[in-house]
């Protein structure tokens, strides 16, 4: 039991099961959350506990429930795996003080995680997470963890079982014209990647002429034939094959806890997360004629700035992660917010990523315009010019991190891949801004031992040059 090792990264604490992710450490996390709620005077309102389809997630969730109830807190216990945004919406709908989701999102199968959500349904801001972390670190021994049993908690009236799906699905139906989509006569393919989103998308669109084919919809915590359940191109072969063989209008995928989205268009072309966010911004601003601030993480496309100028809406930039994005969305009453990982949030919903809702909005874009996602992308390029993107993930020994950070901070380059560097910032990692709006970013993953390198340029070839040249700067 080593709670002092537990730190919350971009979105929660994650670790390898049976190594650091143990029942003792999960209980320590739950004790920390309970102590935080009590210290903040929030014990009158319940805490919701949800989980995904990973190995042991339901059992880890029950361990959390027992600790929260053991501290005298009321707990709403989800009875089945559910998307993180479904749990998040129930926080708002049921007046909960906070929520915990047992999930490692898109991490490989041997990982699991612990996400904490505020009463808004969204990620906790850094100042709240710091308090939660501090409370966790106060747990020194098992004697500091207060527990009851599920039966004991139920008998005391502290534990109530809930199904988070109905309230969430009813709310989604108020945001999207489901009747129109059901009647559109589309063929759609959805890939939940064996995760918690299975059945949600198909269930929302059933009952009309639109047909939904679900692939990889069964629970399989080993996530076979993929390195990790992340909806990025090299993981979406089955989705692409199903789109082409079924002549589908669009294919959408969600990660392990269904808060991220990936897309394949009717031609089998993969749309990057930066393209998808531009498509969603275009959908709201041009197709639906809505207006409002747009929030982007620093690794999202410069296309967002250009679209903001075109449609005269403000754009705000934050560090990577919804712990930064969500508070700005709330503060500015934003139309939408997003990050490079494929997580996007929208006005009228919770300030949190939602892969199911994002996928529905993409389908609605195609249905309303009558052209493919790629053809819509061409129209965006007509407005803002061509923008292409790539990312390289480098696995590294965590002990080398200080050396890499030192190397990058010693001096900044004047050019990368032959393009002059016009500015450098360290908002989150190191971003090199180059002539012509090109950029590259180097940052460490907040949840895995990965060094991530991102780049955007006018052509795919130039993107690869920037990625390679930027990697050379890191020495890994």
Distance CA 198, CA 196 (A): 6
How many CB atoms are located within 10 Å of the residue 381 CB? 14
Question: Looking at residue 445, what is its pLDDT?
Answer: 79
Q: Is the dihedral of CA 146, 150, 154, 155 positive or negative?
A: negative
Domain boundaries, the chain: 3-164, 176-384, 388-474
Q: Is the dihedral of CA 65, 67, 69, 75 positive or negative?
A: negative
- Residue 69's Cβ-side half-sphere holds a number of Cα atoms within 13 Å equal to 25
What fold, for 388-474?
TATA-Binding Protein (3.30.310)
Q: Is the dihedral of CA 239, 245, 248, 250 positive or negative?
A: positive
For residue 188, give both structure tokens: 């759609």
Query: Quick check: do 3-164 and 176-384 share a fold?
Result: yes
Nearest to 61, CA basis, from 29, 108, 36: 29
What fold, for 176-384?
Alpha-D-Glucose-1,6-Bisphosphate; Chain A, domain 3 (3.40.120)
Identify whether the C-beta of residue 21 lies closer than 8 Å to the C-beta of residue 11: no
Tens-binned pLDDT, residue by residue, of the chain (476 aa): 678 779 887 788 999 999 999 999 999 999 999 999 999 999 999 999 999 999 999 999 999 999 999 999 999 999 999 999 999 999 999 999 999 999 999 999 999 999 999 999 999 988 999 999 999 999 989 889 999 999 999 999 999 999 999 999 999 999 999 999 999 999 999 999 999 999 999 999 999 999 999 999 999 999 999 989 999 999 999 999 999 999 999 999 999 999 999 999 999 999 999 999 999 999 999 999 999 999 999 889 999 999 999 999 999 999 888 889 999 999 999 999 999 889 999 999 999 999 999 999 999 999 999 999 999 999 999 999 999 989 898 887 777 788 888 888 888 999 999 999 999 988 888 999 999 999 999 988 776 778 899 999 999 999 999 999 999 988 77
| Residues comprising the chain, all counted | 476
H/E element, 46: none
Could you tell me which residues come within 8 angstroms of residue 36 by beta carbon, excluding any fewer than 6 positions away?
131, 132, 135
Q: What is the value of pTM for the model shown?
A: 0.92
Question: Looking at residue 1, what is its pLDDT?
Answer: 67
**Domain spanning 3-164: which superfamily?**
Alpha-D-Glucose-1,6-Bisphosphate, subunit A, domain 3 (3.40.120.10)
Residue 343 exposed, middle or buried by CB count within 10 Å (0-12, 13-18, 19+): buried
């Amino acid at each position: 039991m080593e709670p002092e090792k537990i730190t919350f990264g971009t979105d929660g604490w994650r670790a390898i099961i049976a190594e650091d992710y143990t029942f003792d450490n999960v209980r320590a996390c739950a004790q920390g959350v309970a102590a935080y709620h009590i210290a903040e005077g929030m014990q009158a309102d319940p805490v919701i506990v949800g989980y995904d389809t990973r190995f042991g997630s339901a059992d880890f969730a029950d361990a959390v429930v027992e600790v929260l109830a053991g501290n005298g807190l009321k707990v709403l216990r989800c009875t089945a795996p559910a998307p993180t945004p479904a749990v998040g919406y129930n926080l708002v709908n049921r007046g909960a003080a906070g929520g915990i989701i047992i999930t490692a999102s898109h991490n490989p199968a041997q990982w699991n995680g612990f996400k904490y959500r505020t009463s808004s349904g969204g990620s906790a801001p850094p100042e709240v997470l710091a308090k939660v972390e501090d409370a966790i670190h106060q747990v020194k021994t098992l004697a500091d963890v207060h527990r009851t049993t599920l039966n004991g908690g139920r008998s005391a009236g502290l534990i109530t079982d809930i199904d988070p799906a109905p309230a969430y699905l009813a709310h989604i139906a108020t945001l999207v014209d489901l009747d129109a989509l059901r009647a559109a006569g589309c063929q759609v393919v959805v890939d939940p990647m064996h995760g918690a989103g299975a059945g949600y998308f198909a269930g929302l669109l059933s009952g009309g002429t639109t047909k939904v084919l679900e692939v990889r919809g069964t629970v399989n915590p080993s996530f076979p034939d993929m390195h990790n359940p992340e909806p990025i191109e090299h993981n979406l072969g089955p989705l692409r094959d199903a789109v082409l063989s079924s002549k589908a209008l669009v294919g959408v995928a969600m990660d392990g806890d269904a808060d991220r989205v990936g897309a394949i268009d009717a031609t089998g072309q993969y749309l990057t997360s930066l393209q998808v966010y531009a498509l969603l911004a275009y959908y709201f601003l041009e197709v639906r004629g809505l207006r409002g601030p747009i929030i982007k993480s620093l690794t999202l496309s410069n296309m967002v700035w250009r679209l903001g100028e075109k449609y005269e809406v403000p754009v705000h930039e934050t560090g990577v992660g919804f712990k930064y994005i969500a508070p700005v969305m709330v503060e500015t009453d934003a139309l939408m917010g997003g990050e490079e990982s494929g997580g996007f949030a929208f006005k009228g919903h919770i300030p949190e990523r939602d892969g199911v809702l994002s996928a529905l909005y993409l389908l609605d874009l195609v249905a309303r315009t009558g052209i493919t996602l790629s053809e819509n992308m061409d129209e965006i390029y007509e407005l803002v010019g061509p923008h292409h993107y790539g990312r390289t993930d480098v696995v590294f020994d965590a002990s080398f991190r200080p050396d890499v950070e030192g190397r990058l901070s010693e001096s900044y380059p004047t050019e990368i891949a032959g393009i002059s560097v016009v500015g450098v910032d360290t908002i989150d990692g190191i971003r090199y801004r180059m002539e012509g709006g090109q950029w590259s970013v180097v940052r460490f993953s907040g949840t895995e031992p990965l060094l991530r390198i991102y780049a955007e340029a006018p052509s795919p070839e130039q993107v690869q040059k920037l990625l390679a040249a930027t990697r050379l700067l890191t020495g890994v």
